[in-house]
Structure formats: C-alpha cells, structure tokens
Structure 1
Amino acid sequence: MDTNANDARQPDNGAPLEVAETAIPYAVDATADTTPASPNYRALNLAKLQAQGMVTHDGGRTSVAEDFRIIKRPLLRNARATGPDAIRHGNLIVVTSAMPGEGKTYCAVNLAMSIAMEMDMTVLLVDADVARPSVLKVLGLPAEPGLMDVLLDERLAMSDVILKTNVATLSILPAGRSNKHATELLASRAMSRMLSEIASRYADRIVVFDSPPLLITSEAHALVGQMGQVVMVVEAETTTQHAVKEALRQIESCEHINLIYNKTKGFPGNEYYGYGYYD
C-alpha cells in the first residue's frame, strides 16, 4: 500500500487560516451576487466558507487547500485513465466513513471545491446522505428538492433540481426529501441509469457524492457499490481499528478505495487538525 501524507495546519476554533496574497485561479462568476444565471442559481458565501477553514478560490495557499491538492491528484488520474487502465465510472467518487461525525461532509465539500479549481474540469457535488443531508447546511444554503425527488417522480428531470453556483465550475445536487425506501431507491434501476448518464454525459465532469456512514445505514452499501472510486474518512484517535476494518470489509469488492486520515493532531501543545492520505 502506497502512502502519501501531508500534515495540514488548521485552528480547531474555526478561526480563519492565514491567507497568501496570491489567489488561486478559479472559475467564479463575478456578477453572481446581483445577476443570477437561472432560477436554480444559488450564490455561495465564499468569504464565510473561507473563514470556516474551507477551500475556496481566493483562500490562498492554506495548508487545507494544499492537502486537498494532494488528495485529489490520484483521484483525478484514475478518473482520466484510458485504455486498459480505465475505471468504470471512474469519475464518480463517493466520500464516506465508518461512523457519523468523522468529517466526511467537510471532506466531500472541500474535495469538490478543490477539483473545481482545475482548468479543464467541472464538478457536481451530490448530497447522497439522504437520511441526514448536510451538504447544503455546510454551504449555508436552505434545503431544496434533489436526488430523492428525481427518483420518486419520473416527470422530474435532474436538470430541474441541480443548483448552479457562483463558482462556475461547481454545481450541487441536493439530497431532496427523505423517504423510508431510500435504500431501495438508491439500489434501483432508475438510480443506475442516472449514474450512467451522469458518468458518461460530460467527459470533463467529476461527480463527488457525500454518502451515509457505512456502519450505520444500509443506503451507503447501495451507493458505494455503483461508484468508480471510494474515499473513506477516518477520524484520528477516535475511530476504532475494528470499525475501520469492518467498514473496509463491507466495501472490499470495490477496487479503488482511498483513506483520508482526518483531524490529526499537530505537534504536542498545538491545537491543530489536519489530513493524511492513503491509497
């Protein structure tokens, strides 16, 4: 198992990270605040997200931004692979965890934001944690119709519920309304057809799914089995080795599994969190 690790430095009190003067190139709609592009347009408060330690276009070279540059690179390499190295649905990346509270949504949003910085990529961020959706909440947006609504209503198109943002290369598909048959819906032929369409319709699109935890819900298994790449978030010094092994056992049929070691402590006496990456 190859190992790549980069220790991030982020205050755990939510204070803004130190920002470099040079902004990272990023596709942002400069008129977003006053000229919505469509009824499905939503403006993200990028300054607020940056202050919360998230990756944003003008956040500079923060350690979190650098960590996700490292994390995304092998995922993008796999997604772009062709010929004998090509991965089926390689551009569909699901972010999950063994247990709740390990930071999977935070990592999914940051991963999507980081990929959106690529010069030749667009990103669709899907909230597939349909029992406890968190993506819109993290981004400061209200609940909206989404994935579950499309699966439940054949008259509803995915384009009807995808949200465009002031990050021109980033779109969002909310979880939508909750449903007691969510597992069956995620495992349905309608979902498979939707995933195939998402994966093949746009050659330059990466789709990042925020999935339910593996050891808590059955929805995660229905979803993970249809993805090309899996990213599992492990909370440092909290998630037990048994939980990690059990979660990995449940997705062992997936060929491309990556781990993010999240919330690692810094040097003794420092109140820092960080990330490690394992493939």
Structure 2
Amino acid sequence: MSIIEKAASRIDHTRAPAPAPTVVEHDGQPIVLEPQGLAPAAEAAPPAVEPTPAAAPAPRVETPRVETPGVATPRVDKPGVAAPRKVAPKPGVRKVDLDLVRMREAGMVTAASGRTNLLEDFRVIKRPLLKQAFSEGTPGRPNNLIMITSSLPGEGKTYCAINLAMSIAMELDHTVLLVDADVARPSVLRTLGLPAQRGLMDILVDDKLDLSDVMLRTNVDTLSILPAGTSTPRATELLASSTMSALVNEIANRYPDRIVIFDSPPLLLTSEARVLAGHMGQIVVVVEAQGTTQHAVKEALRQLEGCSNVNLIYNKARDIPGIEETYDYHYG
C-alpha cells in the first residue's frame, strides 16, 4: 500500500468522539495515544504559549559566560557519530532563556515534564527519524536535515516541530538546531514567547553575516534556534540559491552529532516549502485529524514525490471511541 493510500485510508476512518489514553498497534508499529498536549488549532495564535506581554520584561538576550555549558555524557559511543561536545560559545553569540515552566504548563515537552503521554508520543515519533539521521542518504540531502510541514496552515506543524526538537534535545548523543524556515509567517519565536530577531533570510541576503551571528543559544544546552529573520519578497529565490545550498551543507556538517529541524511553510500555500524540500533528507507532514481532507493530503504528498523519505504525523486524532486527542505516526 502506498503512503498516499495509507494517509487517505487513515483519514477516511477517523470520525469518532474523544476520551482516555491507551496504546494501539498499527502495521506492527506501537502507537502511543495521548490525552494531553493538544496541538493548537491555528499556528497564527497557538494556545500553547502566548507572547510575553509588553509590560513584562522581555526575554534576556545576553553574551554568554565563557564557562562551558553542561551536556550529559553519552552512555554509548556510536560509530561515525561524535558525542556532543562541551563548547563555550564565541564572544558575541547570543543567548535566550526559554520559559520552561510556561512551556510545561502549556503542555509542551520539557525535561522537567515527567513521564507524560506527550513525552512518550514524541519518543515514538523521533526514534525512526534518529535511526535514519546518520545513515547514507541521497547526495545533497543529508538525513540529519528534517523538515516539518503540513498541507495547510493550522494543522500543528510548528507545535510538532518545537516538541520534536525538545524531545531530541533530551538525547544523550545529539544536539539540535531548530530552524524557523516559515519565512512568510514565522511562528517559532512567537510560540516560545521570544521577540523577532535576525536569522535565516538575513544570512542569505547579507554575505557578511555568519551563522554564528544570528543563531540563538538557549538555556537548554543541547538546543539552538535559527530564527526566520527579515521577511523578503525574494524568499523563494533565496531558498533555491547556491548560497542556501552552501548554508544547508554547513548546518548539516559543522557538528557531526547535530539534528536540524526545519519548521517549513505549508506545502499547498507557498512555493518555498517545495524548494526547501529539495535540500532535506527526511520530511514529516503533519495531518490534522477531522480537519485535513483526503484531497489536500494527496496533493501535498504529490509535491514531495521526488523525496524518498516522507513521514506522516496524524495530529489531534480521535480514531478510537474513548480515546482523547493523540499523535499517530506513519512512515514509508
């Protein structure tokens, strides 16, 4: 059965009410169904984390101290994958503090969340992605570059991208760079309650800027963020440029333990998503249960026919009577 038929069949048979957590099996794969951490209905105003009110102090952006950030020592050395190194940021590298308490209260994945159903869901989701991340991929498309997208806005792609990045940041032998590549409608910083800053588009426009000039270190030692940056009408051409190819190659290879998560625009609304997909080793399409039509999913997947590693997250699912909203994962 093709991935399009699987997605279409899945959508056709999910029209039931919601209520209590369980674990089910699908095509021999365990699926953790979770009653918490619902993805926001629309990314334009995610209920998960509201922007910091104007009266409140803005998140600190400061020059980090020269001391080495703490990173857990891996238990097992994997051949060909270097363990995360304790590297002191260069002077001038910017640091922001994520409000981890607010994120946890909003139902997002954090290290202090405890063993929640949401955390278990993303453990299931990330495992096959990590397994593929450092395997040999298509030339020019490293498998440690993972794009999170959707057919249309409001399906929860930014929420899934942030939670996936936070979950991978908890790994002992990986670091994560979360890139806001939805350059027309950036949502990552806003969802995290951080102000807009220079980022991806600024690097592509200004050849004097380096990645380190715009990348944000966070108080999660293994997580960094690359903002979308300044909006430009030439975004599609910039993403398709040789400068972007060189930047993607640098991002993928600068640190051998790094996983890079790209929060991309929706596939059916902009041309940027299709261009960005050409750089990616793995693609995850978020599908909203009871919201995304079969036609939209099929059209989105057709636009990814040149990509060999496409995965689906079935979001906000209520596919079994008595089960509350969950994440469901399929790959092919």
**Pairwise TM-score range, normalised by the shorter structure:** 0.7 to 0.9
2:141·2:279 contact (CA, 8 Å) conserved in 1? Answer: no
- 1:7 matched to 2:33? The reply is yes
Overall identity of the aligned pairs, in %: 60
Given candidates 62, 68, 80, the residue that maps to 2:116 is 62
Q: Render the CA deviation track for 1:8-37: whole Å, top value 9, x for unaligned.
A: 11165979xxxxxxxxxx959xxxxxxxx9
2:100·2:110 contact (CA, 8 Å) conserved in 1? Answer: yes
Write the distance in 1 (CA, Å) between the matches of 2:268 and 2:99. Answer: 33
Given candidates 213, 233, 241, the residue that maps to 2:266 is 213
- Deviating beyond 6 angstroms after TM superposition, the runs of 4 or more aligned structure 1 residues are 84-87
Aligned residue in 1 for 2:328: 276
Q: CA RMSD in A?
A: 2.3
* SS across alignment from 2:307: coil
2:179·2:225 contact (CA, 8 Å) conserved in 1? Answer: yes
Write the distance in 2 (CA, Å) between the matches of 1:256 and 1:134. Answer: 25
**1:200: Cα distance to partner?**
1.4
Given candidates 200, 210, 215, the residue that maps to 1:147 is 200
TM-score with structure 1 setting the length: 0.87
TM-score with structure 2 setting the length: 0.74
Given candidates 296, 299, 307, the residue that maps to 1:254 is 307
**1:273: Cα distance to partner?**
1.9
**1:269: Cα distance to partner?**
6.5
1:78·1:86 contact (CA, 8 Å) conserved in 2? Answer: no
* SS across alignment from 2:314: strand
**1:88: Cα distance to partner?**
4.0
Amino acid of the residue matched to residue 156 of structure 1? L
**1:80: Cα distance to partner?**
2.3
Distance 1:162 1:3, change over 3 A: farther
- 1:45 matched to 2:118? The reply is no
1:3·1:278 contact (CA, 8 Å) conserved in 2? Answer: no
* SS across alignment from 1:177: coil
Q: Render the CA deviation track for 1:101-159: whole Å, top value 9, x for unaligned.
A: 00000000000000000001000000000000000011111101000000000001110
**1:58: Cα distance to partner?**
0.4
Amino acid of the residue matched to residue 178 of structure 2? L
1:7·1:276 contact (CA, 8 Å) conserved in 2? Answer: yes
Write the distance in 2 (CA, Å) between the matches of 1:46 and 1:104. Answer: 20
Amino acid of the residue matched to residue 190 of structure 1? T
Write the distance in 1 (CA, Å) between the matches of 2:122 and 2:37. Answer: 17
Aligned residue in 2 for 1:163: 216
2:95·2:216 contact (CA, 8 Å) conserved in 1? Answer: yes
Unaligned runs of 5+ in 1: 16-25, 29-36
Given candidates 227, 230, 234, the residue that maps to 2:287 is 234
Amino acid of the residue matched to residue 32 of structure 2? N
Aligned residue in 2 for 1:195: 248
**1:274: Cα distance to partner?**
1.1
Unaligned runs of 5+ in 2: 2-26, 41-46, 49-69, 73-90
Distance 1:9 1:86, change over 3 A: farther
**1:180: Cα distance to partner?**
0.3
Q: Render the CA deviation track for 1:198-229: whole Å, top value 9, x for unaligned.
A: 11121100000000000000100110111000
